Each structure stands twice: as structure tokens, then as C-alpha cells.
Structure 1
């Protein structure tokens, strides 16, 4: 099995490596590659940094671009053809080196490039699109993909509106560290210096620490004496220092020990609907999406609310009310946790293994 990811945030890589781990554990050979290793460094740097810049400093521009690409255009088709020419040779070489029976993509751009290769007959083995987001954009799917896998039936329903190939809701691919191997709540709280009856709120901004008005969000929660607030700043040292300076709650930078924080938490407040949200659902922590980032963040929030696994308050006052409700033993909290728990009833690798064993269908 060859899994194609991309080093853009943590979500795509996290899903790819977890799928590879499960496949290897089941006795299959699995290799993860980074799409960006197939492209010149300058192009990768421009792609990644322009994305990061827009999210931080020009979110309106990113939102308009996201909406623009709901429609096919000559400029988009030209861009995709160019990227196929740039990366295609390396991708096909990796497929041959891995002797892959199936290729799995966890990154939308990789899916589109591989889909083009499949449609041209250059990729001869089945192509699986593992969609890591709840929100489905037309550019997260491709008509020549053989099988699409999603994290929830809501996402599967939306994906079926764009493609004719099978779409299966398998649930997220998250590490057992945030589910079956999660530390005991009491032990996690003791290690973090938290009391058993604290109402613990994690405010997270992804691995890049991206988001608008995060200090304001943290202040609204941290100034409420009912809550103990811990802000996870990712790799954004400037945000971490700013929050430490004002003294709003506890602050953490990048950590590899997220399971401990999740085990100790009652609620996470996030803004992207990415990997941490999926991990929180796995860890049975209530999820709140507040002021989601443009584009996929807003799309994810809307889909997660439809799925019943997330709350999305619109104002700071509503945020405090929702967090109060979700840190207490309420029907709303119980319903949300039950809906989130149901996402993990299936094994995500089963359809991948099944299609790898089938005779490859004709490319479309």
C-alpha cells in the first residue's frame, strides 16, 4: 500500500501514518510519502507559506478563493495539469517502488493529481481518497477515484453529490493513544496539577496556532471562575508569549503529549475541525467550534453541527453558555458524546484492504 500525504498541518500526515500503522499491524506493507517531496522546494514553500499567510493575515482572500474553486475554471485546470507534470513522475516511481496494490491519498491536492494520472491510464492500480475533513468541497474529490472514504455519514452524503464512485463512511483514523490507550482521567489531571472537580477547557488552534481573535476567546473563558482554561498554541511562539504576558489561564506550546491533555479535559474549543477535533471525539471530549478559520474551517464546522458532534456558538456570550452546558452532566453533553463515539464503530482500513485484493477496475 502506498499512502500519499502532505506536510500541511498535522491532520493529513496524522491520518496517513495511522492508516499505515494499522495496515502494517494487519500484515500488509505500507509506505507513507509526502506529495511535497515530488515538487521543487520553491513551489512547496510558496504553496505552504501563501496558505499560512492568508489564514493569518488575509482570511477574506482565502475564503474568496475557497468559494471560487467551487466552480471549475480554465486557470484551475491549467494549474492542475502543471502540478501533474511536475509531480507525476515521482508519484508513479513511488508506486512502482512500493509495488503498490492500491494508492491512498489523505490530502486533497494529492487526490486531484493522482486522479488525473488515473484518468490518463498512467496510474494502473486502484486509487482511494481518504477525506480527513467533515466538510466536502468539490476539489476534495475526483471522478477517477475508485473509492472515497469519509469520517462521517454526513460527509459521505455530501461527497456522493459530486462523484459516482462508492463513498463509505469509515470514521476517522486516529491513534489508539487518544482512545483505547488514553490515560485515566484522574491520573492525567494529577499529572497536570488539576483537581478532580475542575471544569477543564482546552482552547486549541492546530499545529500552526492559526486563528482570529484567539486572545479574546481565551480571555472570555479564562475570566470566568467556573472554568480552568488551558490554551494549546501549537508552534506559534508569539501567541504563547502574548497569552503568558496577560495571564489568561494556563498556556502550552507544541506538545507530543496531547492524549494527557485530552484525558484531563471536559471540552475543547477549536477553530478548524481538524485532527484535534477528531482526537477529541475519540477521547470522548465535547467539541466546540468557535470563529472557525475561513474555507474548510467553516465548512467543517457546519458539517460537524449537522452530524451532532459539535456545537458552534456565534458570539462570546453564547460561547460561555455552551461551554458551561458542555462541562456539566447535561443531556446536550451526553447526546454529543454519543454521536461522536458512534464515528469509531468501523475499521477504516477494511475497505482499503478489500479493494487492494480485487482485480483493478478500468480507469475512467
Structure 2
């Protein structure tokens, strides 16, 4: 049985989500290990840099945008980036001891570390890169010797080939790898006036903004019912959400903390309101659920928002008032605008990415740089 090593990092949910989804499919035909080598090799550094990343993207996004733009001018192909030597050492041990037959990278650092290790004499293993961003692709993803780049859509493939200069036979549209558990549900396939219109809300930002957004959604129409998924933000946001829920009536708002049931929740709701993260956007696309984006990280997540716009399956709403108007527009005329969005997502068929990538992994020996 083939051994496949999947490398990820916990800077944002997209990398880990993609890695888990590919592993979930591959484990049916291969021995699989999903590893965050950054966290294993430098646990304290990883913990604090992750906190810094989350703080920066939430509180000073303009600073993150500057760093993101700077990364697009950086060249990581020359050697191990400063301070990351322990990560390269840990990866080398993993390659020497476990001896994988193929490697899948869902975080842009690892391909360069693999290239360095191979030049140093480590047994060469075929590997591919799964690009977890769409349409806005930093140079850091692209300058390794990866045999293949798996991308989410034709627009991203065109960008890599026509503007970034990647050979066409190295770029494959697979769609973003989401869990096979994510699917379009029958419960929210249609809607008409008088029925409950179910909104899945994953809040971002300060408590006052979250309360304003929840009130705006409830004010959009009496049919609106909101499921709020607080995740790890329960302590910070529960009071604001609970207060708004009490004023609206308990039957209109359901509050959840951390949940592993996002696939089932997506399948049973009519629209998602949340951040334009790679995992959340592409899970919604696979479930054929329209998305109203209320926040995006400058740089990589702008592309996800643009992808929704191009597919006709979502849009950005910058204020609670705009969110209310967007929901009202979707619900007008028995939900005709919502039905059009739903149909466009059905036609786009943005699903099956994990299975497609799993097939490519089994064929990596046939591809050469």
C-alpha cells in the first residue's frame, strides 16, 4: 500500500481543512499521515506566530496586506528561510524514517523545504502542491519544483499559466478539496414566502458589530431564522448574540458553540453569512449554498470573494445595513434572486476536489517537472 505524507500548517483553517479532506479520501487506498511540521518542530514559535497572524488579520488588516504584498516579491527557492531550520530537520527525519511514496503540500513553505532536502541528498519523493487560495495567488506558492499545482477553478489556472508563467501541464483544476461529507441538501433546495429562510451565520469582529449584523438579518424579513455558530469565540460573543436572540424571540435564533456538524448545517440552510476563508467558501460552493461575505483577509481571501462574484453565488456586504438589504433582495419575489444564485452554484459543480487530488497523487510518478 502506498504511503502518502500530507503537510499542512494551522495559519488559517483552509490549509488544515484541505489536508484533512485529501487524507479522508486517500486513506481508503493508501497509508496516510497528515502532519503540521511547523507546529511539531517549533511549538512555541508556531503558537505565538499563529496568534500574531490572527490578531493582525482581525485588528490591523492593512498591515497584513503590506506583509502579503511583500511576500509576493520574496524568493524562497534559494534555501531554508531564516529561523525555520528546525522545521527542515524535522521534515528530513520524517522522510528518512517513514519513507513516504508521495507528498502533498497544502501550505506554501513545505515545497521549498523539500527542494532543499532533495538537493542535500535526501531520497527524492514526488510531491504536489494544493493551492488553497483562488484568483489572488502569491508568488510564494509557485516557485518550487512541485510536479503539479492543484487549483480551485479555471480563472486561477489561467492566472498561473498566463501571468505567472507556470507550464500548462503542471496546473490542474481539481476544485478545492472539501470533506466528502459536504453535499447539497434536500432540506434547503427551494424556498417561498411564508416558509422559514434559514441563515447560517459565522460571526467575525467585535461584539457590537456581531449584534448589529444579527439584528439586521432578523429585521430583513419575518421568515428569517438564524443559526449562529460561535466556534471558539463563545466567551467573547455569546452575551451579545444571546441578548439579540432574546429580543427577537427564541424561535428565530439558535446559538451553537464549536461544532463538527458544519457539513450538515450547510446542507440544511439557505445562505451562509461569514468570512471569505478558503475552507468555508469552498464548502459552501460544494454544498451549493449562496454566500454573503461579511469579512475577508486582505490579499488571499479577496480572491475567494471574487470567485463567488464570478460564479454568481455570492457577494460582499460591508455593513449591517447592506447585509439586511442583501437578504431582502434574495427574498423578494418568492426568493427569485436566491433561486438564481442556487442554480448557478449547481451548474458550477465546485465539488469533488479531494477525490480528484487523491487520483493525481496515485499518478504522481507519471508527471515530471
- Residue 346 of structure 2 is matched in structure 1 by 338
Q: 1:12 maps to what in 2? A: 15
The separation in 2 between residues aligned to 1:120 and 1:223, in whole angstroms, is 62
Q: In the aligned structure 2, how far is the partner of 1:90 from the partner of 1:138?
A: 25
Per the TM alignment, residue 39 of structure 1 is displaced from its structure 2 partner at its CA by 2.4
Question: Partner residue of 2:360?
Answer: 351
State the distance in 2 between where 1:79 and 1:116 align.
6
Which blocks of at least 5 consecutive residues in structure 1 are unaligned? Answer: 187-194
On the 8 A contact 1:272/1:292 being kept in 2, the answer is: yes
Once residues 194 and 266 of structure 2 are traced to their aligned partners in structure 1, the CA distance between those partners, rounded to angstroms, is 14
CA distance in 1, matches of 2:99, 2:273: 43
Quick one: distance in 2 between partners of 1:350 and 1:337?
Answer: 24
| Inter-CA distance 344–20: structure 2 relative to 1 (3 Å threshold) | closer
Give the TM-score, by structure 2 length: 0.82
Are the equivalent residues in 1 in contact too, given 2:26–2:32 (CA < 8 A)?
Answer: yes
Whole-Å Cα distance in 2 between the matches of residues 28 and 183 of structure 1? 30
1:155–1:87 CA distance, 2 compared to 1 (3 A): same
Q: Cα distance, 1:307 vs. partner?
A: 4.0
Q: Distance in 2 between matches of 1:199 and 1:353?
A: 43
Indicate whether 1:70 and 2:72 are aligned: yes
Q: Which residue of 1 aligns with 2:265?
A: 261
> In structure 2, how many angstroms separate the alpha carbons of the residues matched to 1:80 and 1:128?
19
Give 1:101 shift: 1.9
**Selected match of 1:219 from 191, 215, 220:** 215
- Matched residue, 2:147: 146
**Aligned-partner Cα distance in 2 for 1:140–1:102:** 19
Counting only pairs closer than 5 Å after superposition, residues 180-259 of structure 1 correspond to structure 2 as: 184-185=186-187, 197-205=195-203, 213-224=209-220, 225-237=222-234, 238-247=236-245, 249-259=253-263
> Offset at 1:124?
1.3
Q: Which residue of 2 aligns with 1:192?
A: none
- Structure 2 CA distance for partners of 1:22 and 1:281, relative to 1, 3 Å: same
1 CA distance for matches of 2:36 and 2:255?
Answer: 31
Deviation at 1:169, TM superposition (A): 0.8
Given the two structures, how large is their TM-score scaled by the length of structure 1? Answer: 0.83
Aligned to 2:180: 176
Distance 2:34 2:176 in 1: 17
Tell me by how many angstroms 1:170 deviates: 0.3
Q: CA deviation at 1:28?
A: 1.8
Paired with 2:112 and 2:223, the residues of 1 have a C-alpha distance of 47
Partner of 2:110: 110
- 2:199 aligns to what SS in structure 1? strand
Equivalent-residue separation in structure 2 for 1:265 and 1:8 (angstroms): 28
Cα pair 1:290 1:314 within 8 Å, conserved: yes
Q: Quick one: distance in 2 between partners of 1:211 and 1:119?
A: 48
Q: 1:306 aligns with which of 307, 310, 317?
A: 310
Query: Paired residue for 2:62, among 60, 63, 76?
Result: 60
Q: Give CA-to-partner distance per residue, 1:169-219, whole Å, 9 cap, x none.
A: 10122222222xx76528xxxxxxxx99211111224xxx56794333223
Cα pair distance change 1:283/1:250, threshold 3 Å = same
Query: Alpha-carbon deviation of 1:342?
Result: 4.2
- Aligned equivalent of 2:298, options 281, 294, 298: 294
RMSD: 3.2
> What is the match of residue 190 of structure 1?
none
Structure 2 residue runs of 5 or longer lacking an equivalent are none
